[in-house]
Amino acid sequence: MTPSVDPTTRKISVIDGNAVQLNIAEEKLLLKEFGEAADDREITSDEIDKYYWRIYESHSCLFEDAFLLSHPVGKVLAKYGVSSYALRFDPRDPQIIAFFNVLGISAVFYGDGRISYQEKEMLRMDNLIMWLGKTDESPGFGNQHELDHQVSDRWLRIASRYSPAAVRKIFEHSQCFSPFGADVANHFFNGVSEERLTARIQETFGINPHCACQYDALKDLPIEALHGVFFDDQTVPNSLAQMGKSVLPIRIVDRARGSSVIVSPLGHVITAHHVFYDPETGKPRENIKLKYNDEMEFTVSEENLRYVSREGDLVILQIPELAQQKDLCFAQVRQTPISEGSELVDVGFPQTAMENIMKRFYTVGAVIAPHENPSENEQEDFAGLRKMGYNFERFIMSNCVNVHGASGGAIFDSDGRVVGINTAFADQAKIGLHSDLTSPGTDEKLRVVLQEIIATYHNG
């Protein structure tokens, strides 16, 4: 048993790495709540995080911001600089100065090289840190994110073409969706209780009518301003909606589902190899249905196959019944390689915990290069994908977030042309992997089939 420490000799001098001078009441409260954790005169970010999760579980899911605003301990911690999301940067960086000027943020807030929780509240920009911070760390207490220069540079380009009011909209009107794709995946798609899920749908996707105006505020913004936002067919801007009409769900009767995209007026459909084939047995799945609309679906089998590649995670089908449909929506395949930094729109039908919900979701991102020095967790991610037999030279990498069920869906360029097909999302690396349709390389059979598909654009 650890011997008790005389309270009169216990003092807390450091909180979350910051030197502090607490008043008597504050010190008494924190010593009581943190107990032996405070015996070394310091309360670390890890200790704060552990304390918060105890409070979270006993106070009906009290979220971080509410904890810092309303809980007695949280308010003391917030007073001394503890934040749920903190942003750090070089305040002398000309790009940083230009960026904050665009947003109308005074040097009073950014002159110390960080924006704290309290400053974020004062600025009325609840999602400022989420939008601008590098997200390699979990959004826990004490995790201060570096400002992502690529993101701020993109916003500066937007600011050169749009009014400051339009640029600021994305920050002021983002209460009903999550700019953290990973946050959506974790809280919406993975084991959330049905009661909580309903609330999460309302909070995240704007089904609650109260949230409609939040999405309306985004409708005039350019595609590069929408990175990381999850939209559905009801909330997606018109500029993106047309892309999604060609993406359809694939339903596998005895188990999960996937996505697909129609790419020709003759009923050519592309999906992922692992959607059509069982990766464990290598055999086609049974009872595969392409759901065309609420009233109609088509059975798909090996008879429909035109091209198969396991290492490229790609299957091309042709479904004659589709060609007979009036006003068939299809997307054209891009005919030239796409470069790093190019904007992308990812569309698919993620599988939710509520099986009766089948909704098309959109996210925006860009083509990225592989990390030169991947972390151990990132290497583990990609090792698992290599075991599936994938040849990484045949894939496009992006920062688009896709989750279970979106496999087989499409990534589009900013002109609405299909660039690739969703394969996987590496959680640790935060990288989306997509089969590349723009560079067949030495795969002559793929080249021939794609040329046949492209020819239909000029023949009809």
> Coil, helix or strand for 234?
coil
Q: What percent of the chain has pLDDT over 90?
A: 25
Mean pLDDT, rounded, for 17-37: 88
Task: Examine the pLDDT at 187 and tell me if it is beyond 70.
Answer: no
Confidence of residue 308 (pLDDT cuts 50, 70, 90): very high
pLDDT of res. 217: 55
CATH of 194-460, one of 1.10.390.10, 2.40.30.110, 2.40.10.120, 1.25.10.10: 2.40.10.120
**Average pLDDT over all residues of the chain:** 76
Rg (C-alpha) for the chain, rounded Å, is 25
Q: What integer pLDDT is reported at residue 180 of this predicted model?
A: 31
Mean pLDDT computed over 76-103: 77
pLDDT band at 37 (very low <50, low <70, confident <90, very high): confident
Give the per-residue pLDDT at 131.
52
- pLDDT-derived band of residue 134, with 50, 70 and 90 as boundaries? low
Most confident of 8-12, 54-58, 319-323: 319-323
- Residue 141 pLDDT greater than 90, yes or no: no
Is residue 18 scored above 60 in pLDDT?
yes
Q: Which tokens go with 366?
A: 């860009």
* Confidence at 188, pLDDT banded by 50, 70, 90: very low
> Chain centroid to CA 176: how far?
15
pLDDT tens digits, residue range 394-447?
A: 899 998 866 667 899 999 999 999 999 999 877 666 688 899 999 888 899 999
pLDDT of residue 174: 40
Residue 332, burial from CB neighbour count under 10 angstroms (0-12, 13-18, 19+) = middle
Residue 354: per-residue pLDDT: 39
User: Secondary structure of the chain: what % helix, strand, coil (to 5)?
Assistant: 35, 20, 45
Buried (b) or exposed (e) across 115-127, using 16+ Cβ within 10 A? bbbebbeebebeb
What is the residue extent of each domain of the chain? 7-79, 86-172, 194-460
Alpha-carbon gap, residue 318 to 456, rounded angstroms: 13
Q: Is the pLDDT of residue 184 over 50?
A: no
Q: Read off the pLDDT band of 304 (50, 70, 90).
A: very high
What H or E segment, with its residue span, contains residue 24?
helix 24-34
Q: Is 348 helix (H, G, I), strand (E, B) or coil?
A: strand
How far apart (Å, rounded) are the C-alpha atoms in residues 429 and 230?
Answer: 19
Which residues fall within 8 angstroms of residue 249, CB to CB, at 6 or more apart?
A: 257, 258, 259, 260, 290, 291, 349, 358, 360
| Percent of the chain's residues with pLDDT above 70 | 65
Q: Using CA atoms, how far apart are residues 18 and 42, in angstroms rounded to an integer?
A: 9
Q: What is the mean pLDDT of residues 264-275?
A: 95
pLDDT score of 197: 42
DSSP single-letter state for residue 225: G
pLDDT at 173 over 50: no
Q: How confident is the model at residue 375 (pLDDT cuts 50, 70, 90)?
A: low
